[in-house]
Amino acid sequence: MAEQRPHSYTHHGITIEDPWKWLRDADYPTVDDEDVLAYLNAENDYFEANMSPHKELTDAIFEEIKGRQQPDLASVPWKDGDWYYQWKFGEESQYRIWLRWPSVGLEGPEGDEAARQGPTAEVTTLLDEPALAEGLEYFRLGSLSVSNGGGLLAYATDTDGSERYKLVIKDLATGELLPEEIPNIIGRIVWSADDSSLLYTVVDDNWRPWQVRRHVLGQPVEEDTIVYEESDPGFFVGIGESASREYIMIGAGDHVTSEVRLIPAADLAADPVVVSARRANHEYSIDHQGDRFIIRTNDTHKNFRLATAPGDDPAEAAWQPLVDASDSHYITGFDTFKDFIAVEVRIDGLDNVRLMWRDGAVKSIEFPESAYSASVGRNREFDTDTLRLYYDSMVTPSTVFDYHLSTEELEVRQVQEVPSGYAADEYVTDRLLAPARDGVEVPVSIVRHRDTPVDGSAPLYIYGYGAYGYAIPPSFSTSRLSLLDRGFIYAIAHVRGGDDLGYHWYEAGKLDRRTNTFNDFVDVARHLVNERYGSEGRIAIAGGSAGGQLMGAVVNQSPELWGAVAAHVPFVDVLNTMLDDTLPLTPIEWPEWGNPIEDPVVFDYIRSYSPYDQLTARDYPPILVTAGLNDPRVTYWEPAKYVAKLRALKTDDNLVLLKTNMGAGHGGRSGRYDRLYEVAEEYAFMLVVMGLVE
């Protein structure tokens, strides 16, 4: 039980008591307070003490999940200029090896096809992640960027989960690293056209990406030029490269407003040119198609439209209509190629990919199922007649297609292998609409084993997120099979706050309508009980980050429904975080949640649903909470404070566990098998506390 130390503060005439504030180390992001570390370690010891008796179950689930992973998994090769590229895993490796081989100088069509299919005799290793990760508790590769001439590789690594990456440059001819090292970067690395310099983004002390800098090879890093600096603490900065590779884009924005600047890739010393000056709630993105620009913008409609602009004038005044906005068609993105554009459109919650040629011809790509997830994949060739696509569904393993424009053929390049065996016809998927309390119908994606009855006897697992306009796709999961094969029915609640049904769906779950998200989830659960997919008290639920906030809110609203809860890196101390403008994500989050510092109405509203603030003396279901000590997105003290307060108030004997990864961040452990073991721990926890262990 965490000690309570008196602390209070007053805003808008309301005094808040927060006796667990001390769990935030005053020296953060350094965490060395002995009392804080002692508490986190004690909670970890308690986690181990309660889970170690079930290690055999956890290990069994892990081995099931691991057995469904292809040990030597490799990507489908992709072509980029004179080379094919591929990543692959070694059989027991946690990390990838990156390879390349020539795409030119081959003997005839047979040689070309052999290179397209996989490594040739001339294959070389670009980067060996297992070697870089050797001896490290945590390792994650960030940006990886080969120079235009193919001779240099710039890449960035994070070794503690703080998402402060270190950039280095490798000479691919010698295998040696150049002497320069650049710390505290994030996001992409983009080369100049002549490979003499590159652009990168740095984070400040509060982990806000705020500067774009230019590094000239061979020059001291300390002399790197600031190309752009963002002064608004509520805006983040990032960079990208146009499909034509003639321009580099510098983007600044928050969740609802954006501003883009362009720099010629051939002249990184040129002044960046603003495409459209920022104005509140105007979002847009831009790409270059050689002789014209393509723009996605919400200037006339929240579901976005596409526009064009002349190649010598990208300014908003020159934008001309290309695809009109629509109430029913939500344009989620586009990819630009020399002769066509691939447009991603969501219609009634279903992904569509449409191809648009310069002459106005349009083609929608047909997929084999009625409910699925599809997206444009990795396509690095600007002048191409083939489009890489990714596809899966609740019952169909991840599939990579190459769509051939000339023949309109979908070529299957790869289907996810399940070595231990998988038969799609043994599982059944459904999609239904659940009525929310305000009359809105909420989509629900469901999958179960065909032998699992729909009579209320099966345990039910519901996953949700519902924030930032991020839709949860009805996709395939090999891990999930360990639940389905144990008789669970699995559901995804496509609650408001995501953009599953369009931008309006996102707007209906943010700011002063945030509680719609929580109500939707509870109402979905009650509807599934009514439809006999589950029963009260035998429902396991899970969500992470903002989805962890969802877990905390629905536990407070309807604790009797849930048999087990997994809240991963949960954003649960919403009011305190939104009141602290020194934290990296607070100013940029105000368009999502509101600013309680300035607005007493927002203060009261956030306080009314903030899971930490709404904990009371009552019974709660069994809850597993996870955290990352180095997490810059949801700081470790949020889940720690939540569990401490929950322990002090709960009136039941149900198990509550907190596991803090002491050497990781927001995404948990970094190795592919280590991540899967954490999934196995969650499933084992749920099976145990719900009394489903044989």
CA 21 to CA 6: how far, in whole Å? Answer: 9
The reply to whether 545 belongs to the active site is yes
Query: Does an H or E element contain 677, and which?
Result: helix 672-689
Residue 47 CA to chain centroid, in angstroms? 27
How many CB atoms lie under 10 A from the CB of residue 72?
A: 12
Torsion of CA 29, 30, 35, 41, to 10 degrees: 90
Q: Which residues have a Cβ under 8 Å from the Cβ of 206 and sit 6 or more positions away?
A: 582, 583, 584
The torsion angles phi and psi of 278, rounded to 5 degrees, stand at: -60, 140
Residue whose tokens read 């079930």: 54
Do residues 567 and 615 make contact, with C-beta atoms less than 8 angstroms apart?
Answer: no
Do residues 96 and 132 make contact, with C-beta atoms less than 8 angstroms apart?
Answer: no
Nearest to 278, CA basis, from 338, 237, 223, 332: 237
Torsion of CA 574, 578, 581, 582, to 10 degrees: 0
The reply to whether 666 belongs to the active site is yes
Q: E strands, 193-235, where?
A: 197-203, 209-216, 225-229
Q: Which residues have a Cβ under 8 Å from the Cβ of 369 and sit 6 or more positions away?
A: 393, 396
Do residues 620 and 656 make contact, with C-beta atoms less than 8 angstroms apart?
Answer: yes
Catalytic residue among 545, 558, 610, 670: 545
CA 594 to CA 613: how far, in whole Å? Answer: 17
Hey, what long-range contacts does 595-601 have (CB within 8 A, 24 or more apart)?
596/11, 597/11, 600/11, 600/12, 600/13, 601/512
Question: Three-state DSSP class for 625?
Answer: strand
CA 556 to CA 416: how far, in whole Å? Answer: 39
Active site residues: 545, 631, 666
